[in-house]
Amino acid sequence: MKTEIITIGDEILIGQIVDTNSAWMAEQLNLIGIEVYQITSVHDDHEHILRALRDAESRADVVLITGGLGPTRDDITKNSLCAYFGSRLIFHQPTFDTLSSRFQKAGIPVNRLNRDQALVPGICKVIPNEKGTAPGMWFEKNGTIFVSMPGVPFEMTHMMEKEILPRLKATGKTRHILHLTLLTQGVPESILAERLQEWEDRLPASAKLAYLPSPTALRLRISISGNDSAEMESSLEKARESLLPLISDCFFGFDNDTMAGTIGKLLTETGATLAVAESCTGGNIAHLITLTPGSSAWFRGSVTAYANEIKTGLLNVSGETLENFGAVSAQTATEMVQGAKKAMKSDYALATTGIAGPDGGTPEKPVGTIWIAVAGPTKFICEKFVLSGDRLRFIQRASQTALHLLRKLIVQETSDHG
Amino acid sequence: MKTEIITIGDEILIGQIVDTNSAWMAEQLNLIGIEVYQITSVHDDHEHILRALRDAESRADVVLITGGLGPTRDDITKNSLCAYFGSRLIFHQPTFDTLSSRFQKAGIPVNRLNRDQALVPGICKVIPNEKGTAPGMWFEKNGTIFVSMPGVPFEMTHMMEKEILPRLKATGKTRHILHLTLLTQGVPESILAERLQEWEDRLPASAKLAYLPSPTALRLRISISGNDSAEMESSLEKARESLLPLISDCFFGFDNDTMAGTIGKLLTETGATLAVAESCTGGNIAHLITLTPGSSAWFRGSVTAYANEIKTGLLNVSGETLENFGAVSAQTATEMVQGAKKAMKSDYALATTGIAGPDGGTPEKPVGTIWIAVAGPTKFICEKFVLSGDRLRFIQRASQTALHLLRKLIVQETSDHG
């Protein structure tokens, strides 16, 4: 069942709003095995809307339309739909009754503009809008389904969940697709792709692998299509089991997991706590950790030691170390991690010290150089990285790299004790 | 100059990522008077890409394409471009040299897939990618310009700013528009809109005001269109001068200024320093500060005191205060800010303590409650706020609110002494 999405509204095409509706709809449709073939954003313009409808109809079985249903004069979708389906607007009493009783409750008088919202093309099936004033509209033409919905996200999502997705499922024409996303960190896409090529070649035709890079992870998505649920589940399980050993050095979670969340789970299992000492990452590691709900159970706190006096004063780094080896050195990172662990009485600690740029680099220690130290109850790692990117990207990469090193250390500590 | 945007990538059509690129591009294009007629998202599929290119060419003067340029086999944009323009891939040595020297610096070996990234259609003008490995490509065909860019947002935005927008301007076919953006914090959009209505009514026809909300600021953008540069500059200056007094309670900067950057400038002027103590904002304030290049000159450091023992141990908050008033209280915020100022020997300090949620709220102190304290050489403010939004939004809003309170305090201190 091939679907297209058409979003109508000048505000998208002048970049005033980001079209989050389409991604949400596409995700929901994919979850019930409906493929979204194309997303098209068009202006509040009669000819433009008609052309988009014609083009979509020529390719798709279902056309989902959002936007342009408001009460103001720039919203013209309903008139365009009338023209497209050779219908005309009629007054829909149930829609008006619902609308006026809702307005009455809120003590708002109903004006002509509101009354016009109860006008719908005579040919459509009206879909109630429980969260707003503009109803949804369902059309069928030569076997193609068209649905027009309001563009306000919470009105649209409610209508999709309550009315549209169940009706689409009821057609019996939805396909079944399974997805699993594996999150990796620390191995570049090109190297991973080379490593996984053979594995990918052996995948059955029903399975597909996609590489999805993001600032916080390189995500590998396996998709399985088919008709037999049990067979698909088993294909996905086989793919997962054969892929995991190939990415053990960089894998850290599934789907919506985060590195900090994964670390939180590992620490919670053993009742252990964490402290952080940051220099070049400037608080971002603490920020990523504390974005995780419930992190107060295992995260003690952090010190952002930007000035050297903070490194000596709060983290007990010795002035001699700073003088002899510099702030960006294995020695300083080591003393920072030890100082953080002691000052904040934690089981694990993590420390970063590096040069985020744009200034401060030297030939020996160029911008992007970072020393990361992690310490657990018995183990310790201190490693140097040279990361690229501007200041923001450096901070993001450095933070993820540091958290990943910590995750590895926790896994080592735990497996030794397990 | 009519433009269309084509975004290529299955990840958009399965809803795995929200297409933020298009909105950003549309906004930038509109700023230089280029209209975006349509945005189309298509699959990593050869025929689909070719059809989208044909359709866009039939309507537009400029076609901007993002995505599908990665090193892996699901990325096929370059081959489709070759087919579309009747060209074939050639090896582009300068691209390869840049790529390999960057990999060399990072200590990563260059493999075949990386080498393939230096292959480009022979017919194109290569646009360097300073932030990544896949170069941009510029084509011209029957008077239509096509530009293919990577889909990674920070690579695309950099390439657009540095190369594509200037080249489009150089065609001489863009309209002349002047913009000035004023950044505000702390006054809701509806209240500001009401306050500015009269001012807006008096604007000349060539001037326009837009409200652009974002998580870090409510931006007010003044746009002036016309043909006479001097006249436009003078209109903009008049609008700026008459607007500023109306927003003095919430204005903090222009265009790409950030709150932390503004604070940095104020502190640098007087040679003063800053320390931060965070509880509920969890390191995000330190992160926002240290995103600012050069912040090490005025930012001493911060303590993220998540556990109460860190508040007592590193910030010298008394156990009695925590017991009698709770961690989320004016008293704790006050002792935190005093402790931070003393422990980190700074002229100014900022402290936050609150409930980010989703758990931890009580009827007296619901989720979203935050106490913010700021202290300078002679002045001190401690204020309570109740902010809405999920955990991430709360942290973002709380951080901005806290920085804004600090900015006000610095301005007060400085004007008293000036």
What is B45-81 written as a DSSP string? -HHHHHHHHHHHHHH-SEEEEE---SSSTT--HHHHH
Contact B20 A24 (CB under 8 A): no
Residues 6+ apart with CB under 8 A from A108: none
Contact B72 A189 (CB under 8 A): yes
Select the residue from A5, A177, A310 to test the B interface by mutation, using most B Cβ atoms within 10 A. A310
- B175-198 residue pLDDT tens: 778 889 999 998 887 788 889 999
Tell me the average pLDDT across B208-234. Answer: 86
pLDDT band at A278 (very low <50, low <70, confident <90, very high): very high
Return the closest-CA partner of residue B206 out of B244, B240, B230, B177.
B177
Contact B71 A388 (CB under 8 A): no
Contact B154 A393 (CB under 8 A): yes
If one compares B216 and B159, the residue with the highest pLDDT of the two is B159
- A66-79 residue pLDDT tens: 998 877 667 789 99
- The shortest C-alpha distance from B88 to chain A (Å) reads 23
Contact B296 A310 (CB under 8 A): no
Minimal-distance CA residue of chain A relative to B72? A193
Return the closest-CA partner of residue B63 out of B168, B157, B152.
B168
Cβ distance A307 to B297 under 8 Å? no
Tell me the average pLDDT across A223-234. Answer: 89
How far is B182 from B186, CA to CA, in rounded Å? Answer: 14
Residues of B in contact with A181 (CB under 8 A): 16
pLDDT band at B227 (very low <50, low <70, confident <90, very high): confident
Return the closest-CA partner of residue A177 out of A32, A303, A278, A387.
A32
Contact B12 A26 (CB under 8 A): yes
Select the residue from B4, B12, B72 to test the A interface by mutation, using most A Cβ atoms within 10 A. B72
Return the closest-CA partner of residue A4 out of A37, A50, A53, A43.
A37
Fold exhibited by the domain B177-254: Alpha-Beta Plaits (3.30.70)
- B31-81 residue pLDDT tens: 888 999 999 999 999 999 999 999 999 999 999 999 999 887 778 999 999
Q: Is the pLDDT of residue B294 over 90?
A: yes
Residues of A in contact with B297 (CB under 8 A): none
Query: For B391, which of A283, A291, A302 is closest by C-beta distance?
Result: A291
Phi, psi of A138 (to 5 degrees): -115, 125
Q: Where in chain B is the domain with CATH 3.90.950.20?
A: 259-417
Minimal-distance CA residue of chain B relative to A192? B72
pLDDT band at A289 (very low <50, low <70, confident <90, very high): very high
Amino acid (1-letter code) at residue B80: S
Cβ distance B66 to B150 under 8 Å? yes
Contact B359 A283 (CB under 8 A): no
Q: Where in chain A is the domain with CATH 3.40.980.10?
A: 2-170
Angle at alpha carbon of residue A157, lines to A155 and A162, rounded to 5°: 95
If one compares A229 and A291, the residue with the highest pLDDT of the two is A291
Query: For B11, which of A12, A210, A366 is closest by C-beta distance?
Result: A210
Cα B380 to chain centroid, rounded: 31
Query: How close are the terminal C-alpha atoms of chain A, in Å?
Result: 49
Query: For B41, which of A38, A284, A358 is closest by C-beta distance?
Result: A38
Tell me the average pLDDT across A226-245. Answer: 93
pLDDT at position B417, please?
57
pLDDT band at A111 (very low <50, low <70, confident <90, very high): confident
How many cross-chain Cβ pairs, A to B, lie less than 8 Å apart?
291
Cβ distance B6 to B56 under 8 Å? yes
Residues of B in contact with A27 (CB under 8 A): 14-16
Separation in Å, CA B47 to CA A262, B76, B102, B196:
41, 11, 35, 51
- B19-37 residue pLDDT tens: 999 999 999 998 888 999 9
How far is B48 from B57, CA to CA, in rounded Å? Answer: 14
Select the residue from B40, B113, B287 to test the A interface by mutation, using most A Cβ atoms within 10 A. B287
Q: Is the pLDDT of residue B3 over 60?
A: yes
Name the 3-class secondary structure at A269: helix
Q: Is the pLDDT of residue A113 over 90?
A: no
If one compares A336 and B109, the residue with the highest pLDDT of the two is A336
Return the closest-CA partner of residue B34 out of B26, B24, B43.
B26
What mean pLDDT is reported for chain A? 93
Q: Is the pLDDT of residue A260 over 90?
A: yes
Bridging pattern class, strands A176-184 and A144-149: unpaired
The CATH superfamily holding the domain A2-170 is MoaB/Mog-like domain (3.40.980.10)
Full-model pTM: 0.80
DSSP state of A135: P
pLDDT at position B318, please?
97
pLDDT band at A417 (very low <50, low <70, confident <90, very high): low
pLDDT at position B172, please?
84
Buried b (16+ CB within 10 A) or exposed e, A129-156: beebbbbbbbbeeeebbbbbbbbbeebb
Q: Is the pLDDT of residue B290 over 80?
A: yes
If one compares A228 and A78, the residue with the highest pLDDT of the two is A78
pLDDT at position A14, please?
86
DSSP state of B180: E
pLDDT at position A36, please?
95
- The shortest C-alpha distance from B258 to chain A (Å) reads 14
pLDDT at position A133, please?
85
How far is A260 from B57, CA to CA, in rounded Å? Answer: 46
Q: Where in chain B is the domain with CATH 3.30.70.2860?
A: 177-254
Tell me the average pLDDT across A171-200. Answer: 90
CB atoms within 10 A of CB A259: 25
- The shortest C-alpha distance from B228 to chain A (Å) reads 24
CB atoms within 10 A of CB A125: 12
- The shortest C-alpha distance from A52 to chain B (Å) reads 10
Q: Is the pLDDT of residue A216 over 90?
A: no
Q: Is the pLDDT of residue A103 over 70?
A: yes
The CATH superfamily holding the domain B259-417 is CinA-like (3.90.950.20)
Report the number of secondary-structure helices (H) and strands (E) in chain A. Answer: 16, 17
Amino acid (1-letter code) at residue A211: Y
Query: For A193, which of B71, B276, B309 is closest by C-beta distance?
Result: B71
pLDDT band at B255 (very low <50, low <70, confident <90, very high): confident
Give the orientation angle of helix A77-85 with respect to helix A46-59, to 10 degrees. Answer: 50
Paired tokens of B352: 């936050």
Minimal-distance CA residue of chain B relative to A370? B106
Separation in Å, CA A58 to CA A55, B40, B55:
5, 16, 14
ipTM attached to this prediction: 0.80
pLDDT at position A105, please?
80
